[in-house]
Amino acid sequence: MTIPTKPIFFVLLISFSVIKNYAQTISLKDAYKNSFMIGTALNASQIEERDSNAAKIITHEFNAITPENSMKCEVIHPSWNTYHFEQADKLIAYGNKNKIPIMGHTLVWHSQLSGFVKNIQSADSLSLFLDQHISTIAARYDGKIFSWDVVNEALNEDGSMRNSIFLQKLGPNYVVDAFRIAQKAAPKTELYYNDYNIEQPQKRAGAINLIKKIQAAGVRIDGVGIQGHWQLGHVPFKDIEESIEAFSKLGIKVMFTELDLTVLPNPWDVTTADVNMKAENNAYFNPYPTGLPDSVEQMFTKDYVQLFALFQKHKKDVFRVTFWGVHDKQSWLNNWPIFGRTNYPLLFDRNYQPKEAYYKLISITK
Ligand code: 9MR
């Protein structure tokens, strides 16, 4: 046996101590069990347990799972009267086997719509689609999943209704109609409105109006999901706190449903999660292709700690916090708004190792 040279010896020592610490650490879900659920989004390979490293993290850390894409229209309902339930059914089986509640995502969204929906011309046909799509899918999974994001991203930044195909053809009441259809098809499933930037005052006011409108129509809405795609150094803590207070006053659950913190420069002045906005890659916009500098990692830890301290402060009203992915390598933020960057937005790194922020989020609960 050769004696390891010093650097290798230290690398081994450090990695053993990280593994040892991780094995000894209680999980996120246990650390926060008296506060709120801790969830993650799963991609298709994770649902099918083809990602064995992620599989261990998922069952150890999380007590809520959201399909990142498997229940979206283009996957589950590719053409009129044709449904592909395979991926969603696998998710149900995975949730049952591991006893993890499933948060359905999403029934009505202008993005990732199937081609046939985009080509619908008449209001009558679109209304038929809305009814059939929601009734069929929501009824199939009623009692099998915990909740649905019934409508996703129906608002503009100024709080007005987004000019989607649904608004254009059906008018602003389509949101109330969607919840009405869902409540009939899925009496045992919680029903939520989900959107990004609704912590920001103008858009928040729009969301509050929308929720009040659903309630005034006598239709059930159980919660609101603030997505939480935020940027390092610019987390809007004050807006987040005011939103928890304002939304919970409506008598509904408040959740953070797609949490991640991008550490990369933003090509625009605005914070957005609009998947239609894209920019070109270059070295300026991809500054950390081989690793995150310590100084940035420290800011990252600090922002996450401040955020979870805020969630903890409002644990009476915060029902769930879900990360948008298990580890950095799978994050949508590597490819949006610029394709092919190296981003570091989650608590587990590209090698499935927990970051310092992970340990700190657990230690602040003690
Ligand atoms: O994470 C999802 C990514 O894999 C898809 O390519 C993308 C396409 O629209 O959607 C991502 O998830 C989105 C979510 O469904 C709704 N809010 C914004 C999320 C990030 O784009």
Is position 288 within any domain?
A: yes
Is position 19 within any domain?
A: no
For ligand 1, whether the C-beta of 111 sits within 6 Å is yes
Q: Which residues contact 66 (CB under 8 A, 6 or more apart)?
A: 39, 40, 41, 42, 102, 103, 104, 105, 257, 258, 322
pLDDT one-digit tens code per residue, 220-232: 999 999 999 999 9
Is position 303 within any domain?
A: yes
Q: What band does 271 get if pLDDT is binned at 50, 70 and 90?
A: low
pLDDT at 5 over 50: no
Is position 123 within any domain?
A: yes
What is the residue whose two structure tokens read 């109006």?
Answer: 209
Ligand 1 mean position, distance from CA 182 (Å): 22
Residue 275, pLDDT score: 67
Ligand 1 mean position, distance from CA 110 (Å): 12
pTM for this one?
0.93
Is position 11 within any domain?
A: no
Structural domain containing residue 316: 37-342+349-363
For ligand 1, whether the C-beta of 332 sits within 6 Å is yes
Q: What band does 78 get if pLDDT is binned at 50, 70 and 90?
A: very high
pLDDT one-digit tens code per residue, 98-116: 999 999 999 999 999 999 9
> Into how many domains does the chain fold?
1
99: domain CATH number is 3.20.20.80
Is position 260 within any domain?
A: yes
Is position 73 within any domain?
A: yes
Question: Mean pLDDT, the chain, as a whole number?
Answer: 93
Is position 21 within any domain?
A: no
For ligand 1, whether the C-beta of 328 sits within 6 Å is no
Q: Which residue minimizes the CA distance to atom 12 of ligand 1?
A: 68
